[in-house]
Structure 1
Amino acid sequence: MRALAAAVLLLALAACSSGDAQESSASEPGFEVPTGLSLSDPGTEKKVRESMAVAYPSADDEAGTALTLGVARIDKVPRRDLSLFTVPEGMQPYYVRVVMGNRGPAAAEFPEGLPWWLHLAGDVLVPPTATPAGLTACAAPKVGASFAAGQTAKGCLLFLVPRGTAVESVDFQPGDVTTAVRWRP
């Protein structure tokens, strides 16, 4: 079932076109957007299992590129998955399964890691936690500091959230809060 959901999301990312994404009302991007692809504006919200295309790092960057992004699932981590690891007291771990594709024209550079965040109630942003070695149930997307045009990656991000705190969205935020796009559960 997970493989089917990931395959459907990958197909949606590959087909992301003007009908699938909110068309940008901003001026023309500083880079050439691939034919048939419409970029979503910062602030765009989708539901989990939907995809969108965004300019990265920003639309006005001449060295920018178009990324297709999707969030396939948000799941509380089953206790058995982390039974061999120490989870800080009072924290609830979550798996967030994401899909990314670089549609070009340039490589995407991630010198500080992937800009995915979990947005919690109270307007709190939580970065992903490093996945412990040996945790096979949640392997991070294979994206290095540079993500070449034409590459696609899917994987899992691990987040630790204070118990009882509501998850409002999964955000991809390459800059300040005004650059975020988000997926609501």
Structure 2
Amino acid sequence: MSVLALSSAALTGCSDEPDDEPKADPEPTATSTPGSATASETPYLPVPDGVELTAQGSELALGDSAVVAYRPRQDVVGVLGITVERIEKTSFKESFAGWKLGPEFTGTTPYFVRATLTNEGEADLGGRPVPLRIVDSADRLVEPSQFKGTFKPCPSKPFPQPFGSGDSRTVCLVFLAPEGSELEAVSFRPSQEFIPITWTGTITKPLPDKPTGNKGKGDKGKGDQGN
């Protein structure tokens, strides 16, 4: 079994988003609006006609959808439909066998976040990071981990190339909650000024691996897009 190294950027994250976007905010203080998503009366960013953005501050349950906008680059507005479907708590022993982990990961707790994202805008977001983070029990924003190599249980990759208008993708992102903390919510917060949209719900164990073997009749060999 090959031994691969997990990127040391796991806790600080890697992003090509603007410098004014949060890397980690220890004290997000904006108030939230309880309940399901609602359409903003005035879009906070220019979006195509017919697109209704979910209100900032919306507190959603797993399985709920939101439509959001952000600037992955100063001159680009991305619009995404996001459904956070599952939050899974795992362990290094259970999911990271064969991976070489540095001392910086001691005490951290790994989580898998599974979501479906659809490009509802006009900009091609191919190759850009998925703009989701987690909030831990110490009110810190944590970015998804990056890998040197292929991590089959949860790839934690950017959007594929291309990822244009109407494209949809099921993703799995790996997050490491710092020592002594736990995942509290999945968050969309593209800038310090943005009132976060969050998803919470029952945290489960990772799904068992799908059985492999000979493809049966009628199986076209199309795997899960997120893996």
Do the two structures share a fold, i.e. TM-score over 0.5? yes
- Conserved? CA contact 1:33–1:66, under 8 Å: no
Higher strand share: 1
Task: Give how far 1:147 is off.
Answer: 3.1
The 3-state SS of whatever aligns with 2:194 is helix
Mark the CA change 1:131 to 1:179 in structure 2 (over 3 Å): closer, same or farther: farther
Aligned-pair Cα RMSD in Å? 2.9
Q: Does 1:93 align with 2:145?
A: no
Q: Does 1:156 align with 2:169?
A: no
Mark the CA change 1:97 to 1:132 in structure 2 (over 3 Å): closer, same or farther: farther
The correspondence for 1:57, drawn from 71, 74, 86, is 71
The 3-state SS of whatever aligns with 2:154 is coil
- Conserved? CA contact 1:21–1:38, under 8 Å: no
Name the counterpart of 2:154.
138
Task: Give how far 1:86 is off.
Answer: 3.5
Which of structures 1 and 2 has the larger relative contact order (alpha carbons within 8 angstroms, sep 6+)? 2
- Conserved? CA contact 2:109–2:182, under 8 Å: no
Larger radius of gyration: 2
Q: Does 1:125 align with 2:141?
A: yes
Equivalent AA in structure 2 for residue 89 of structure 1: T
Correspondence 1:24-103 to 2 at 5 A: 24-26=40-42, 30-34=46-50, 37-57=51-71, 64-78=77-91, 79-87=93-101, 88-103=105-120
Mapped to 2, the partners of 1:76 and 1:27 lie a distance apart of 35
Equivalent AA in structure 1 for residue 90 of structure 2: V
Count matched residues: 161
Name the counterpart of 1:8.
none
Mapped to 2, the partners of 1:30 and 1:180 lie a distance apart of 19
Unmatched tracts of structure 2, length 5 or more: 1-35, 202-227
Mark the CA change 1:141 to 1:21 in structure 2 (over 3 Å): closer, same or farther: farther
Task: Give how far 1:89 is off.
Answer: 1.3
Task: Give how far 1:155 is off.
Answer: 1.2
Mark the CA change 1:182 to 1:38 in structure 2 (over 3 Å): closer, same or farther: same
**TM-score, normalised with respect to structure 2:** 0.60
Higher helix share: 1
- Conserved? CA contact 1:102–1:147, under 8 Å: yes
- Conserved? CA contact 1:71–1:99, under 8 Å: yes
Mapped to 2, the partners of 1:116 and 1:27 lie a distance apart of 20
Unmatched tracts of structure 1, length 5 or more: 1-19
